[in-house]
Amino acid sequence: MDAAFTAEQDEIRRTLREILGKRCGPDEVKAAVRTTAGHDRELWQQLARQLGLPGIAIAEEYGGVGCTPADLALACEETGRALLPSPLLATAALCVPLITALGSAAQRSALLPPLATGGLTAALAVSGPALATALALTGEDASGQWAGGGRAGGVQARADADGGGWRLYGEAAQVLDGHSAGLLLVAAHTGGFARSRTLLFLVREDAPGLVRSRQAVLDETRPQAGIQLRQTPAELLGDEAADVPAALAATGRTASAVLAAEAVGAAGQALARTVEYVRQREQFGRAIGSFQAVKHRLADLYVQVQAARSAAYYAAWDPDQGGLALAQALEALRVTAGEAIQLHGGIGFTWEHDAHLYFKRAAADELLFGPVHRLRAHAADRAGLFTDPAAAAAPPGHRARAAEADPTVNPADPAHGPSDPAQGPAAASAPTTSTSTSTPPPPFPPAPEKVAV
């Protein structure tokens, strides 16, 4: 791993910071989120023209810049600093990888070029508040049960009678940029109960039967929508043999690295603004930043933010570590944003103050992609930190052979594996009688007889 940034990466970061510094201050952010689109369309087009930001991770053959997801993560650190409201996360981090991985050649050729230029935006729609589960950030769910079904509150897909297309029926909530996206990637169940599976479908913004409504959210810089599909015509992404849960999990790994970098950028900016404030605010005839108690709190925040930044950079290089990096970054953002409000004093507790923008981003991101403890628990499960390697690697029947070779071995010990393959892991945890030939312990002594006094 080479930790040094390339000249191109430094230039992207510098240019992006310069543009956002001029066009995306706190006042501009508040104005942009109140528009119909939920973001500044002119700024979005400027970022597309000058930097190719929407297509930064799209191959050059489709009109993209041809960079890596690591470059997208570094760019998102800058957008996180400014709390940029834009379709970048939903389009570039969630939908583009899925279209690239699952789409047919014709679909990639038709969709990726307009996505790369910013003329088309996309949103990923999964049923219910299950985005973190669908992306396998907080747990594996290869069965795709999170997608639900028509009567389970999710989305059901049925093929047309003539075999020429599909119809979707159901609803999904908390769809990032779902109210303004020109293209929806909808996860739906198909095949009936016995052969149920999850597939992805393409739905255009003008499709009949599609109803979209913008939802009231905690963080207005991440606009969300609820969508309803009423026998809406849709196009299958790829083919029916596609392994959608696996593709979503792979997308979740790269998206978690992008989200971690974005959260680190927001945490760093919240800290920088707080340091600037305590240098100027005076109390008892001196700047409050000169008090030791304030210095210690800021020093702790600096260490936490820098540690999260290191983890985010490593995850950009190795997306498999994205879950842990995201947990650390979200925690750093939550703590830093909370301390920023505290250290700003009374003015920090007013809703009009800019510190609340960062606090809302921290809380909303944990609701969407966390919480932190579940991100860490899933990372620990994937790493096998709390499982016995010997038990996990023991082949079926190993326990019985071990008991025959050594009479003192308890066949119920999980370290020796199940003696009957049909019993599975549940049999290993069931209470059984020991087969040890050692002398049993003596019984309790009889109770003493009552003596008349």
In angstroms, the CA 330 to CA 368 distance is 11
More confident: 429 or 36: 36
What is the pLDDT averaged over residues 219-244?
Answer: 94
The secondary structure of 400-438 as a DSSP string is HHHHHH-TTS-TT-GGG--SSTTTHHHHHHS-------S
Res 426: pLDDT = 44
Residue position matching structure tokens 């489709």 = 62
In angstroms, the CA 438 to CA 270 distance is 66
More confident: 428 or 310: 310
> Residue 144: pLDDT band by 50, 70, 90 thresholds?
low
Predicted confidence (pLDDT) at residue 297 exceeds the cutoff of 70: yes
Percent of the chain at pLDDT above 70? Answer: 80
Predicted confidence (pLDDT) at residue 399 exceeds the cutoff of 80: no
- Residue 359 amino acid letter: F
More confident: 106 or 437: 106
In angstroms, the CA 436 to CA 410 distance is 7
What is the pLDDT averaged over residues 376-400?
Answer: 70
Res 187: pLDDT = 94
229 sits in which H/E element:
strand 224-236
DSSP state of 147: G
Res 142: pLDDT = 55
Report the candidate in 394, 432, 434 with the shortest Cα–Cα distance to residue 414.
394
Least confident of 60-69, 188-197, 231-240, 400-409: 400-409
**CB burial string 245-257: b at 16+ within 10 A, e below:** bebbbbbbbbbbb
In angstroms, the CA 282 to CA 278 distance is 8
In angstroms, the CA 33 to CA 85 distance is 7
Token representation of residue 339: 């301390």
Res 335: pLDDT = 98
Residue position matching structure tokens 């929806």 = 184
Res 430: pLDDT = 44
Q: Is the pTM of this model over 0.85?
A: no
In angstroms, the CA 360 to CA 348 distance is 13
In angstroms, the CA 130 to CA 145 distance is 10
Which residues are within 8 A (CB) of 272 and not within 5 positions of it... i.e. 6 or more apart?
none
Res 428: pLDDT = 43
Res 191: pLDDT = 74
In angstroms, the CA 162 to CA 152 distance is 27
Give SS3 for 309: helix
Mean pLDDT of the chain: 85
> Residue 418: pLDDT band by 50, 70, 90 thresholds?
very low
In angstroms, the CA 335 to CA 397 distance is 50
453: Cα separation from own chain's centroid: 77
Tell me the β-bridge partners of 224: 176
**Taking the CB of residue 381, how many other CB atoms lie within 10 A of it?**
13
What is the pLDDT averaged over residues 236-250?
Answer: 93
**Taking the CB of residue 400, how many other CB atoms lie within 10 A of it?**
16
Which residues are within 8 A (CB) of 448 and not within 5 positions of it... i.e. 6 or more apart?
none
In angstroms, the CA 302 to CA 304 distance is 5
What is the pLDDT averaged over residues 409-427?
Answer: 47
Res 350: pLDDT = 86
Q: Are the beta carbons of 185 and 168 closer than 8 angstroms? A: no
Res 382: pLDDT = 84
Predicted confidence (pLDDT) at residue 453 exceeds the cutoff of 70: no
Tell me the β-bridge partners of 283: 286
pLDDT in tens, 169-194: 999 999 999 999 999 999 998 876 55
Give SS3 for 290: helix
Tell me the β-bridge partners of 213: 226
**Taking the CB of residue 182, how many other CB atoms lie within 10 A of it?**
16
pLDDT in tens, 1-55: 567 888 999 999 999 999 999 999 999 999 999 999 999 999 999 999 999 999 9
Give SS3 for 149: coil
Domains in the chain (CATH in brackets) are 247-383 (1.20.140.10), 389-420 (no CATH)
Least confident of 89-103, 209-223, 300-314, 438-452: 438-452
Least confident of 1-5, 227-231, 290-294, 421-425: 421-425
**Residue 227: exposed, middle, or buried by beta-carbon count in 10 A (0-12, 13-18, 19+)?**
buried
Bridge-based pairing of strands 282-283 and 286-287 is antiparallel
What is the pLDDT averaged over residues 393-422?
Answer: 50
